[in-house]
Amino acid sequence: MPHTALWLDVGPVEQLPALGARTLPVQGGQEIAIFRTANGDVYALQNKCPHKQGPLSQGIVHDTTVTCPLHNWRISLISGQALGDDEGCVPTIPVKIDGGRILIGRKEALAGAA
Ligand code: FES
């Protein structure tokens, strides 16, 4: 079905605790970080801080931002933009929840491997 090919099922949403994150390896040694906020929304970004490629999945989630564990840049989970005085942007990956499963955009996820 062409429709399902657009989305990659990465597992049940209940496996991702609120304020938690998990990573998903993609081709080329890259990783995607998948985050869940306090109110249950799920976001996916490349697991690379736009500053010096810190692993955002190990950062602290607060509202719709994650704080990079290396030098505390704050990154919007919605836009991937660095907030405050910092500049940079990490690619975001579309996410939807369907039947309790987390689906991420296949094309964008694989583009992260480029
Ligand atoms: S690598 Fe993320 S703040 Fe420096």
**CATH code of the domain containing 38:** 2.102.10.10
Residue 112 confidence (pLDDT)? 57
Residue-range definition of the domain harbouring residue 107: 2-111
CA-to-CA separations, 16 to 21, 33, 102, in angstroms, rounded: 7, 12, 9
In this structure, the residues whose C-beta lies within 6 A of any atom of ligand 1 are 49, 51-52, 54, 68, 70-71, 73
| Residue labelled with tokens 């929840």 | 97
Q: Which residues pair with 46 in a beta bridge?
A: 32
Residue-level pLDDT, tens digit, the chain, 114 residues: 555 579 999 999 999 999 999 999 988 788 999 999 999 999 999 999 999 999 999 999 999 999 999 999 999 999 999 999 999 999 999 999 999 999 999 988 887 544
Instruction: Please name the residue whose Cα sits nearest to atom 3 of ligand 1.
Output: 71
Distance of CA 11 to the CA centre of its chain: 14
Site to substitute for ligand 1 among 46, 73, 81, 90, most atoms within 8 A of C-beta: 73
What pLDDT does residue 104 have? Answer: 96
Give the dihedral of Cα atoms 69, 83, 105, 48; nearest 10 deg: -30
CB of 26 closer than 8 Å to CB of 32: yes
pLDDT of residue 111: 79
Burial level of 106, CB count in 10 A (0-12/13-18/19+)? middle
Distance 56 CA to ligand 1 centre (A): 8
The alpha carbon of 30 and the centre of ligand 1 are apart by a number of angstroms equal to 17
- Number of domain units in the chain: 1
> How do beta strands 60-62 and 65-67 pair?
antiparallel
Taking the CA of residue 72 as reference, the ligand 1 atom at the shortest distance is: 3
Centroid of ligand 1 to alpha carbon of 72 (angstroms): 6
